[in-house]
């Protein structure tokens, strides 16, 4: 089986182009980066209170977190979670801002401070899963 190179399958231009072909996106629901379905445990901290939930979808710019007690819109939050790639489990620490809330369901968090290496690894992870590949199989 022929594998696509990381650069060709996961470049932002190719991922976005492929996403546009798969579905028409309305103006009000347009995303600037590809999102993938995920189920990753996440711990988050805001106002000296620790909580947890699950990342239900992930992009290089943010995440939807399933939690029965979402934080209010505008809350700054610290996140920690792990993604898995060919190298290992990669711990991710990020700062974010709650941008949307559905009470008792969850919240959308936009990343506000991501290390460039972590941002690249999230992009790789998201791109690989978007194209139906296991990130652990790509080296």
Summarised one tens digit per residue, pLDDT across range 89-108 is: 888 899 999 999 999 999 99
- Residue 136 is predicted with a pLDDT of 65
- Please determine, looking at this structure, whether the domain spanning 6-21+36-137 carries the CATH number 2.40.10.220: yes
Give the pLDDT confidence of 48-69 residue by residue, as tens digits.
Answer: 999 999 999 999 899 999 999 9
Q: Is the pTM of this model over 0.85?
A: no
Closest CA to 44 of 16, 17, 66: 66
Q: Report how far residue 86's alpha carbon sits from residue 21's, in angstroms, rounded to the nearest whole number.
A: 28
Tell the burial category of 10 from Cβ atoms under 10 Å away from its Cβ (0-12, 13-18, 19+): buried
Number of H helices, E strands in the chain: 3, 6
φ/ψ of 121, rounded to 5, equals -70, -35
- pLDDT digits over 110-136, tens only? 999 888 888 888 888 888 877 676 766
């Amino acid at each position: 089986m022929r594998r696509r190179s990381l650069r060709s399958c996961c470049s932002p231009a190719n991922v976005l182009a492929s996403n546009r072909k798969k579905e028409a996106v309305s103006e009000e629901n347009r995303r600037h980066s590809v999102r993938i379905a995920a189920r990753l445990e996440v711990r988050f901290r805001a106002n000296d209170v620790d909580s947890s939930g699950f990342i239900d979808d992930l992009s290089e710019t943010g995440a939807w977190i399933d939690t029965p007690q979402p934080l209010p819109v505008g809350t700054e939050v610290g996140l920690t979670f792990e993604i898995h790639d060919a190298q290992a489990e990669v711990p991710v620490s990020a700062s974010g801002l709650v941008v949307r809330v559905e009470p008792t369901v969850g919240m959308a968090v936009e990343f506000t401070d991501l290390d460039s290496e972590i941002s690249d690894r999230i992009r790789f992870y998201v791109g690989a899963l978007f194209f139906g590949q296991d990130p652990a199989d790509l080296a």
